Structure 1
């Protein structure tokens, strides 16, 4: 035996050093043969298994499906078709059942048009007073009724969402506590959520009676369709449909999805802990809320302003969308059980089915979502009208901004010398009697022009009286009282790309 070699290793000299300094290990011929043998055996087994599978396909599988005039294929097709029909029928029956609970409504409801509109108490302080109430109303009316075209696009779907407060759950005569436009742009794959301030002062037509009040009063007096009409006239856009839901159903819907996660500021959390039963309400960038907590959070009053109020409402809506994405089938089914019976909409059943299938097939849940509020900071000022806090809105500027956000284009051209309603406001003098906020020029009387029997617009807490033909204080206006220029409606509505 050679002492200078070790089994399977490099040869070394007697001193134990490498032979010639070569560091490469070598496999002797015996080990090579063994290794080749093992690989060969593995390859043989693989070949054998492959051969068996091939014989199975050739002798069993193919003849089973192709023999006897392909009878087994036909049987399998029938079985699978029956199973598919069963599954689709099951879900189809469920969907039809759910749609049967939807309360279809054209949205026109003048049953409360003679009711006194009682506004919620507010702690907000207006910064301006109206110097010319007659001119203000006249400018608002002329813009709303100037015949300007309303923007429309086949690639844009506009749905008005209402969250209302009702006493009996019927939503008839309820105030629209939250007003949000959900606009789906199929071309840009974007969803735009536009929150409208409920205290925006506006012209409205209530069953032939011309009134000026906060926009959420339109829902109380004329139903959601009247609010939609008012918004269309002010913003010069077409709104396809509306969906209205009572806030009372929000907790059940949110709880069925497992809650929502929203950002809560420290001052909001402190306000909640101080004024509600939720003494452990937390602040943070991602606070998990139950249905009752989310409802309370979105309806916070007397804390800051409409701006932050709408922000909280949008954050809850966004959180519901996110929870829907993560929900399982059981949670979604439970949510639908609460949603469908408690909505009021002018969508028909077939339209709901079509909209749902389009949303699924086009992946609306993955669309980018952008948010905006109206009026924006540069197009509004706060004021008191007959003692009530309102936002005076530069509607032409806002209409242009909303059109650009929804369609990427606009048909409104703002004249640099136009009559802007904001120019009719003067800084409020807080050194005098802060309880008297009658606008200059109104002489303390109602400023409603009445063209049909009805009641006058009244301020918060006042009693309505029979219609009067007394006109607002007449003020001579410059020849061009149109605040912005739009194309005439003698042609079809402007169609965006």
Structure 2
């Protein structure tokens, strides 16, 4: 694919949900927890789009790939129509699974530099809490997946958020991946930098090739924040405690290793490291951390559901962690359509495996 790395913010949002899960450890006093909740950016689905002025604009042009640079199979109009009809037939026949013993929340990293538009969702992780299996699943949904966005049509998955913010993205994930997802937590890349810094950084291991690419991202982000990048550059590969800028730069790496597939793996690595640091915090540290972080996240989790999560939080931190991504290996093909390379999963196999993992 043509490089657009300077515009793509591979973001991790999971910390927001983790904060929700550990708040119960901060204290059971209603006044304290209610205050935490009110400090977060709860946004009802009805209000989600009111602050954005360019909803529905086509933002996919920046992802266009020249035919000579395309890696996907070029489809004729007839072949594309046949593919779309086949996908629609499966979507109509496969039921959406909704299990009361499983709580699904979509963690969203938004690619935007200001609040004037909703932004493309360039990082999406489906976090699923299975109370019976005592399992937390983190499933990365790759941004270039070819999906049907309700009311918009066949596009890349990351375009759903730009056209309808969190609510439309949730509807798109539910209808295409056939699992009921009603809740989301999101941040943009600036907020993610701040959240990781408030954790005191995370320990990561980088190769020399990853250092080279990460330093380019560090230059860009420091320039946007009017910081001296020399204070943040990696010197060489190895293991070190990374600041927010360094960790986000690592998570954005797309052109080292297996392209976007490995980038989603880096995102899950950062998330796991963050979870490990949270689990080791003392109660005063948790209190201070939650107080600082919650204003940085946007979500649609009602307060009563928050209380339910709080009650379960001590056991949730002991659950088994499963990390995967969709498309799964050997279950997809790449097509060149709408001047873009897109990933087309074998939806029948994919949905069967996803539901087996989650439920």
- Asked if TM exceeds 0.5, the reply is yes
1:324 to 271, 274, 278: 278
Q: Deviations over 1:288-343 (max 9, x none)?
A: 21111111211224445220111111111111101101123343233212332122
Query: What is the CA–CA distance in structure 2 between the aligned matches of 1:115 and 1:193, rounded to whole Å?
Result: 30
1:63-102 counterparts in 2 under 5 A?
92-102=30-40
Counterpart in 2 of 1:78?
none
- Report which stretch shifted further, 148-157 or 215-224: 148-157
2:202 to 245, 248, 260: 260
DSSP 3-state at the match of 2:86: helix
Aligned residues: 312
When normalised by structure 1's length, the TM-score is: 0.58
Considering only CA atoms, is the larger Rg found in Structure 1 or Structure 2?
A: 1
For the pair 1:289 / 2:242, whether they are aligned, the reply is yes
Q: Which runs of 4 or more aligned residues in structure 1 lie more than 6 Å from their structure 2 counterparts after TM superposition? A: none
1:256-405 counterparts in 2 under 5 A?
256-273=198-215, 276-277=218-219, 278-284=232-238, 286-303=239-256, 304-360=258-314, 363-405=315-357
DSSP 3-state at the match of 2:307: helix
For the pair 1:143 / 2:143, whether they are aligned, the reply is no
DSSP 3-state at the match of 2:118: coil
State the Cα RMSD in Å.
Answer: 2.5
Query: What is the CA–CA distance in structure 2 between the aligned matches of 1:88 and 1:311, rounded to whole Å?
Result: 34
Query: What is the CA–CA distance in structure 2 between the aligned matches of 1:398 and 1:301, rounded to whole Å?
Result: 24
Counting helix residues as a fraction of each chain, which structure ranks higher? 2
Counterpart in 1 of 2:80?
133
Counterpart in 2 of 1:176?
121
Query: What is the CA–CA distance in structure 2 between the aligned matches of 1:138 and 1:113, rounded to whole Å?
Result: 27
Q: Deviations over 1:59-81 (max 9, x none)?
A: xxxxxxxxxxxxxxxxxxxxxxx
DSSP 3-state at the match of 1:377: coil
Structure 1 residue 395: Cα displacement = 1.7
Structure 1 residue 219: Cα displacement = 0.5
Counterpart in 2 of 1:194?
139
DSSP 3-state at the match of 2:35: helix
Query: What is the CA–CA distance in structure 2 between the aligned matches of 1:190 and 1:324, rounded to whole Å?
Result: 18
Structure 1 residue 118: Cα displacement = 3.7
Q: Which runs of 5+ in 2 are unaligned?
A: 1-25, 220-231
Shift of the 337–128 alpha-carbon distance from structure 1 to 2, 3 Å rule, reads: same
Counterpart in 2 of 1:250?
192
Query: What is the CA–CA distance in structure 2 between the aligned matches of 1:319 and 1:259, rounded to whole Å?
Result: 9
Counterpart in 2 of 1:230?
172
- Report which stretch shifted further, 329-338 or 105-114: 105-114
Shift of the 211–323 alpha-carbon distance from structure 1 to 2, 3 Å rule, reads: same
Structure 1 residue 275: Cα displacement = 6.0
DSSP 3-state at the match of 2:149: strand
Counterpart in 2 of 1:154?
100
1:403-418 counterparts in 2 under 5 A?
403-407=355-359
Shift of the 114–228 alpha-carbon distance from structure 1 to 2, 3 Å rule, reads: closer
- Residues 261 and 289 in structure 1, CA contact (< 8 A), matched pair in contact too: yes
DSSP 3-state at the match of 2:144: coil
- Residues 257 and 332 in structure 1, CA contact (< 8 A), matched pair in contact too: no
Query: What is the CA–CA distance in structure 2 between the aligned matches of 1:391 and 1:272, rounded to whole Å?
Result: 25
DSSP 3-state at the match of 1:203: strand
- Residues 108 and 185 in structure 2, CA contact (< 8 A), matched pair in contact too: yes
Shift of the 122–271 alpha-carbon distance from structure 1 to 2, 3 Å rule, reads: farther
